[in-house]
Amino acid sequence: MAPHLPLTDPAFVQNPYPALERLRDETPLFFDAALGKTVVLRYDDISGILRDKRFGRTLTHLYSRDELGWPPPDPAQQHFDAFNGNHMLDSEGEKHTRLRSLVGKAFTPRRVETLQPRIEAILDERLSALGRAFDLVTDYAEPLPVTVIAELLGVPEAERAQLRPWSAAIVKLYEPHFTRSQQSAAERAVVEFSALVRTLAAERRADPQDDLITALVQVEDGGQVLSESELTDTCILLLNAGHEASVNGLSAGILALLRQPEHWEQLVQASGASDLKPFRSAVEELLRFDTPLPMFERYVLEDLIWNGVPLKTGDQVALVYASGNRDPRRFDSPDELNLRRDPNPHLTFGLGRHYCLGAPLARLELSLSLRALVRHAPGLHLADPDAPAEYGGGFVIRGLNQLQVRV
């Protein structure tokens, strides 16, 4: 049978690693007819493509839709498509360079560093409200990154309840298959979130505050500024990217630790010290071990041959980070947790010019969240060790529906 990546198979979503191991060994680079994409499974191929300028997140900076033979845009998702084509993640060339430079000037490492006391205060407040039994996903992993990105942007508390539902609706359209109702929900979410950001941006122009929306309104680089639509779409991107990986990475990581209690105990022993380094190292390994955003795509920008496989302009390649992060050609004993793994050059935040701008914030949030939880509940354990993990939402953005734990 022709090789295939069964992205819609619930069993594969629950545990993709055995299938990925087999495919990685037998057919590490193959065309998947059902997906209409060339699947890339080995670390060296993925990292090479991420750094190669002959691949990009879009083609429209070089070719028209007619030249590419693409059908007309779907009017049912016109606002989603406009958003998706207008932020730096899905931009290339001069536009990407300009947007990344402007956003980088506003979203600085210094701004991230100043967040640590506030993150710790939010964690303390959240932990004090937990009982002896709780859902780690909804009661602990979700609230922090949503609150942090909302405070960072400057979204008033009264407006924050919709942020997570908006993001959850929008990211459904990144899966290979989605329903009409999911499409409609994503379209509504983009429209509603855009309206909120435009209102806040107007307020910040009139009355600047110490927040990221103000910084994005004011940022300038050689006379270049963000247009209103670029500012709006950047804020939506920061919300989505600012918490999806954190929520899914933390909950899946803690599941891995609780399934192997000796690793949890290792962190308990390290939790008394003020040094965050053991937890930073643990986070890197957890993000490698169970990748929260398992697959990203690139377009082929010119005809080429990659590792013996011919690729044509306009083709898409599916880069399976989750497979590359378990590739034994790059990592020793890749199916085993090693919280002291060093070096640990995982692919989770990408590589090259599209490397995740929010990686420092995600790393800080995850490290502080893990340490706070270990200190608060050193005896934490799964409520039902025999219950299967319930991953939902698809494979491209893969996260646990719930994780019931007890202190």
Task: Express each pLDDT in 332-362 by its tens digit.
Answer: 999 999 999 999 999 999 999 999 988 999 9
Q: Quick one: pLDDT band at residue 112, thresholds 50, 70, 90?
A: confident
Q: Give the model's pLDDT for residue 127.
A: 95
Q: Quick one: pLDDT band at residue 175, thresholds 50, 70, 90?
A: confident
> Average pLDDT of 151-175?
89
Q: Are 281 and 307 in contact (CB under 8 A)?
A: no
> Average pLDDT of 288-297?
95
Q: Quick one: pLDDT band at residue 403, thresholds 50, 70, 90?
A: very high
Q: Give the model's pLDDT for residue 242.
A: 72
Q: Give the model's pLDDT for residue 106.
A: 87
Q: Quick one: pLDDT band at residue 397, thresholds 50, 70, 90?
A: confident
Tokens representing 374 are: 């270990």
Structurally, at CATH architecture level, domain 10-406 sits in Orthogonal Bundle (1.10)
Q: Give the model's pLDDT for residue 57.
A: 93
Q: Are 283 and 321 in contact (CB under 8 A)?
A: no
> Average pLDDT of 182-194?
95
Q: Give the model's pLDDT for residue 32.
A: 96
51-55, 110-114, 183-187, 227-231: range with lowest mean pLDDT: 110-114
3-state secondary structure of 306: strand
Q: Are 346 and 229 in contact (CB under 8 A)?
A: no
What are the angstrom distances between the C-alpha of 51 and each of 54, 132, 322, 324? 9, 47, 18, 15
> Average pLDDT of 275-299?
96
Q: Give the model's pLDDT for residue 176.
A: 79
Alpha carbon distance 34, 358 (integer Å)? 33
Q: Is the pLDDT of residue 145 over 90?
A: no
Q: Give the model's pLDDT for residue 87.
A: 87
Cβ of 268: how many Cβ atoms within 10 Å? 16
27-31, 146-150, 227-231: range with lowest mean pLDDT: 146-150
Q: Give the model's pLDDT for residue 56.
A: 95
